[in-house]
Structure 1
Amino acid sequence: MISQLAPLVEAQLPGAVALRHRLHADPRVSGQEEDTAAAVCEAIGLPGEPVAGTGRLLRLGPATGPAVVLRAELDGLPVPEQTGLAYASTSGVMHACGHDAHCAALAAVARAVAEVALPHGVLVLLQPREEAAPTGAGDVVADPAFARHDVRAVIAAHVQPVLPRGVVSAAPGAVNASCDELVIAVRGRGGHAAYPHRCDDPVLALCQTVAALHHLVSRRVDPLDSAVLTVGRLDAGTASNVIPSVARAHGTLRALDAETRRVLLAAVRDVVVHTAASYGCEGTVAAVSNEPVLRNDPGLSGLVAPLLVELGLHADTRFRSCGSDDFAHYGAVAPSVMLFVGVDDGSPGAPGLHDARFAPPDEVVGELAKAYLAGLVAALGTLPE
């Protein structure tokens, strides 16, 4: 099947690149992706069925029976673009995570697949809200429109600037981390900055808390495990001569193992409570779990790798990342594989994901399409004849 579909996909790439330019120039933020979904459906040639609000489902092949899902994300980010591309967005919203290329590649594969007789269904999933919590994958899984299909496997592809061009990772097991968003509040007794001895300073307590938190991974986690804790935002005070009564920190906790995640969440609470108390303050933590660990099905991953090689790509089976993706939710429904497609061309200081300068070349659309195709053929091969 792969030899039959590969040239058909190749023939669709010029149109896919044009679609990529169209999507990139006019992106939408999470929850407002109707126009993006409509553009991709138009390019595929099917109207699609709504799912999870602004998402779409398009079924190819047999209308009933087992189906393999191919997923791409619709949303952009609230990032003012700085790429200098002729088709750059000027709206203050940008496809800074490659979702425009993912959708374009998936459209190419869908159009190619529509030209052949399929043994089983192929369900194209244009998923909303990957970039903003609450993310869309959980809502897709819970939507009756999705549940009506007999989903037997789910495949996704994502650009990855950590990997070189021409390399696609099909690693088995945990490949992306769980994600917990942390909001830390330290409450004290505010007052005049000239009289700190008459206050319980939450700013000082919070600063010491943040410093202590950044030691947790190195001292509470096995060095052979992977985890990261980052505090990215601090909020406190309204004036330089006022000690406020509350200070807040916002951070993220990532882990590739559920037990490591549990240990670190408990340790975060201990550090916040006891460090704040040592400065006469009260510390609290609110943790919002966004995504579970993303685990690639080992059997399906093993089937994809040789097909990638057959399509002229280099297959990697070791790549792991403490990034997170709501694609993790599909693993609870069926065997799933996230394929990471390398876009690093070796340029020093090249921008990464979510950077205002991030702009993979158009040739990456073809490499993403090959990754989708390898995943699809591997998954179809696991279904009963």
Structure 2
Amino acid sequence: MTPLPDFAPATPATPSSAEIRRWRRYLADERSEAAVYRDLAARRAGEEREILLGLAEAEARHEDHWRTLLGPHVGHPRRGSLRSRFLGFMARHFGSVFVLALMQRAEARSPYEADVHATDAMAADEQIHEEVVRALATRGRNRMAGSFRAAVFGANDGLVSNLALVMGISASGVASPVVLLTGISGLLAGALSMGAGEYVSVRSQRELLEASTPNAEARQKVPMLDTEANELALFYRARGLDPEEAETKAARVLRAPHTEPTGPVPVVGADEHEAVGTGLGAAAASFCFFASGAVLPILPYLFGLEGTTAVIVAAVIVGLALLSTGAIVALLSGGSPARMALRQLTIGYGAAAATYALGLLFGTTVA
């Protein structure tokens, strides 16, 4: 961390009321952010714990700066902003990657760059803090199970596709039971399609990897190879070693075929982590994720609502769900939760509006 310099900007002899309020707010926010880092550190161990405690110490130095400027005007400790208090609650009770993602955005919004009473070192600290928290958040994102990401995206697909289907059919003027039946059909068709596609994808990937894995029985033939021709070197070259490394390794194996392993040598560029899991497991997860989203647009019809009321209630339920999934995707990707949530809502409502308009058009034509 960059230490604060031994000097501070010139302090007004009599700070204005606005300056005192601003400095007190800065002081309260620094205290809250330091507490968030300490709470996160309490839920971690090793290097990550040390890094988070180091960030808390840096925020404490910033506290000292504002306390010194305030002098006799420091007053009673103030509560931090609502955002800081929310982050503190999340850190104490969850301590997840989502808190780090939000702290990353908080550090990026530091006002110190434009405040003449903050030192250059403090502004630089905040920028470095953003990068430190970004790196910690990236670690957390990388550790997250792929099934969680699949849950978010699968549920979002179900939300948008079935809302659009229900809106389009409802606009055509058919009876509510027909809309409900259509929605259930869309849920099953979409979920089964997603599950089948995931099964085929995972199974195909596993089969490709199996086809690329060296045959264990070939090792038994190594002692029978012609040591002059050294065919084994071709095997290692085909698996990605350069000619010199291949010759060296093959010669070593031929000298002691029963003690030196012949493989498997990784294929250069192979990425096996994509094939983790079974086809049936991936299919079941994909089916459930899609269905969990697709069931929301038909809830009003399941509870007996009809006509415009059912359409409005379905749109509101799905809208709230789209805002939630958008915010979660943003936190996973490091983007703005508000912007991503609104984008998800716009896309979902745009698709629904298009099918609703088509339903009105075809319904009028049929009538």
TM-score, length of structure 2 as denominator length = 0.24
Considering only CA atoms, is the larger Rg found in Structure 1 or Structure 2? 2
Identify the structure with the greater helix proportion.
2
Identify the structure with the greater strand proportion.
1
